A and B are shown apart, each in its own frame.
Chain A
């Protein structure tokens, strides 16, 4: 384990398992876009060692919430802290412990997989980057595609590369916004493996998914977002898909096992 970079002062300490430590804490988050209030006074706590699934009807603000957690969107009010550090003040440190796969792969289409991973690895000052890039490529089944440009890859392989990009700096917290969309079965297995490994290492995973059954089965804790707040917060073992869809409100058209 190599975490001895001094840039910025690292909060990563991959030595001891840290399960139970509060990874993400959101206090009264509010965010509006124009006239539409998306988050309104949302509170939530996510601990290390947990895999958390966030559900909610379309447009209820799941992606906005993940973007706020990823330090990309600044909340209008309220604050969010990552390992006890307020991200509005120490965003640069928080970003070191965050890895995110959002809707788009966030990779340069005209650069190869290797160039992309090396570039982002450099931005995080990842030590022994060449080995790390190879390691991630092998893990994601991208070895034979390292020298292909992103725009030449299929959607599924772009997603794999995006996952590799998100993990390149060994983040403690993994944010996955519908990461399984467009993945074929082998890739989905890789994703499940990554999530399981992350949990086993005592780290946190926050994911949204449109497949409620899979989400409940693959998580430790379930949150349902409704009306800009957390409407349900319960261990996954005590949640049925019905509990989730009940909270989607009248506008929900999502049937059982939808999508």
Chain B
């Protein structure tokens, strides 16, 4: 058990080290998300009340769309260098490889959010840096990385994987996006934990189901 955890950490650390060297993924997520948010500041005339109405939706749409880019890279990188084969040659169980990738992707999305949230807060003038939103952001990142990792592995061998991944990832993540948007909405409008407990439950439900389901299905993904 402890040894398995060590393997997962080794896998994730490898991804983080690669990211530190290339900066492909986090930078892409951050820049793309900020672009989406910036474009919306022009598309919508932001009065304080309108910011609170549409802001949460804009924020999470930006994170979800930008996240796809990063998720895409995380497996494309392994496929291009054929290191996916290298990983497959090791006796490490496929679930652990999956969890290693999920952990890496979770870290990338979370790091990107750490940059995105303050900038969003400044541009939209609504306060999203609160304990409640941080919890929701973590839950969203877990779900995004679980579903995203599974689908990134599924679409890595498709001709046009850049198109395929968002088509698979976005509709599947709708419940999680709904939960994140609605919770954030409640929070920026001054609500407290009990006001969005249903949405919190939905996010947790989504995370638990898809972490388990993706881990189980992942072994079937990587066969050739």
A residues with CB within 8 A of B = 7-8, 67, 70-74, 92-93, 95-96, 98, 100, 102, 104-111, 115, 119-120, 122-125, 149, 165
- Per the bound structure, the CA–CA distance linking A67 and B224 in Å amounts to 10
Give the chain B neighbours of A122 by CB distance below 8 A.
7, 10
- Pick from B10, B21, B81: contact of A119, CB below 8 A: B10
Contact at A95–B91, with CB atoms within 8 Å? yes
Contact at A107–B91, with CB atoms within 8 Å? no
Give the chain A neighbours of B224 by CB distance below 8 A.
67, 72-74
Name the prevailing secondary structure of the A interface residues: loop
Give the chain A neighbours of B83 by CB distance below 8 A.
106-108
Known: A98-B89, A107-B86. 15 other contacts (CB 8 A): A7-B3, A7-B91, A70-B89, A71-B88, A72-B224, A95-B89, A104-B81, A104-B85, A106-B83, A107-B81, A122-B10, A123-B90, A124-B90, A124-B91, A125-B3
- Pick from A8, A74, A98, A123: contact of B7, CB below 8 A: A123
Known: A73-B224, A111-B14. A120 touches B90 (CB 8 A): yes
B residues with CB within 8 A of A = 3, 7, 10, 14, 17-18, 21-22, 81-83, 85-93, 223-224
How many CB-defined contacts (below 8 Å) exist between A and B? 69
- Pick from B3, B10, B87, B93: contact of A92, CB below 8 A: B93
Give the chain A neighbours of B82 by CB distance below 8 A.
102, 104-106
Give the chain B neighbours of A72 by CB distance below 8 A.
85, 88-89, 224
Closest to A67 in B: B224
Closest to B224 in A: A73
Contact at B91–A115, with CB atoms within 8 Å? no
Closest to A162 in B: B86
- Per the bound structure, the CA–CA distance linking A246 and B82 in Å amounts to 34
Give the chain B neighbours of A125 by CB distance below 8 A.
3
Closest beta carbon of chain A to B16's beta carbon, Å: 12
Closest 3 CB pairs of A and B: A106-B86, A123-B90, A104-B82
Contact at B81–A71, with CB atoms within 8 Å? no
Closest beta carbon of chain A to B19's beta carbon, Å: 9
- Pick from A7, A106, A119: contact of B85, CB below 8 A: A106
Closest beta carbon of chain A to B14's beta carbon, Å: 5
Give the chain B neighbours of A165 by CB distance below 8 A.
86
Give the chain A neighbours of B93 by CB distance below 8 A.
92
Give the chain A neighbours of B21 by CB distance below 8 A.
110-111, 149
Give the chain B neighbours of A70 by CB distance below 8 A.
89
- Per the bound structure, the CA–CA distance linking A235 and B86 in Å amounts to 32
Contact at A123–B92, with CB atoms within 8 Å? yes
Closest beta carbon of chain A to B48's beta carbon, Å: 45
Known: A73-B224, A125-B3. A106 touches B17 (CB 8 A): no
Contact at B17–A120, with CB atoms within 8 Å? no
- Per the bound structure, the CA–CA distance linking A102 and B85 in Å amounts to 10
Give the chain A neighbours of B22 by CB distance below 8 A.
110
Known: A106-B83, A109-B81, A111-B18. A71 touches B3 (CB 8 A): no
Give the chain A neighbours of B91 by CB distance below 8 A.
7-8, 92-93, 95-96, 123-124
Closest beta carbon of chain B to A85's beta carbon, Å: 12
Report which residue of A74, A106, A107 has the largest number of chain B beta carbons within 10 angstroms of its beta carbon: A106
Give the chain B neighbours of A107 by CB distance below 8 A.
81, 83, 86
Contact at B85–A74, with CB atoms within 8 Å? no
27 A-B pairs with CB atoms under 8 Å apart are A7-B3, A7-B91, A8-B91, A70-B89, A71-B88, A72-B224, A92-B91, A92-B92, A96-B91, A102-B85, A104-B81, A104-B82, A105-B82, A106-B86, A107-B83, A108-B14, A109-B81, A110-B18, A110-B21, A110-B22, A111-B17, A115-B17, A120-B86, A123-B87, A123-B90, A124-B91, A149-B21
Give the chain A neighbours of B3 by CB distance below 8 A.
7, 125
- Pick from B7, B18, B89: contact of A100, CB below 8 A: B89
Closest beta carbon of chain A to B20's beta carbon, Å: 9
Closest beta carbon of chain A to B158's beta carbon, Å: 15
Closest to A88 in B: B223
- Per the bound structure, the CA–CA distance linking A135 and B90 in Å amounts to 20
Closest beta carbon of chain B to A136's beta carbon, Å: 15
Report which residue of B83, B89, B90, B93 has the largest number of chain A beta carbons within 10 angstroms of its beta carbon: B89
- Per the bound structure, the CA–CA distance linking A67 and B223 in Å amounts to 12
Give the chain B neighbours of A74 by CB distance below 8 A.
223-224
Closest beta carbon of chain B to A105's beta carbon, Å: 8
- Per the bound structure, the CA–CA distance linking A139 and B18 in Å amounts to 27
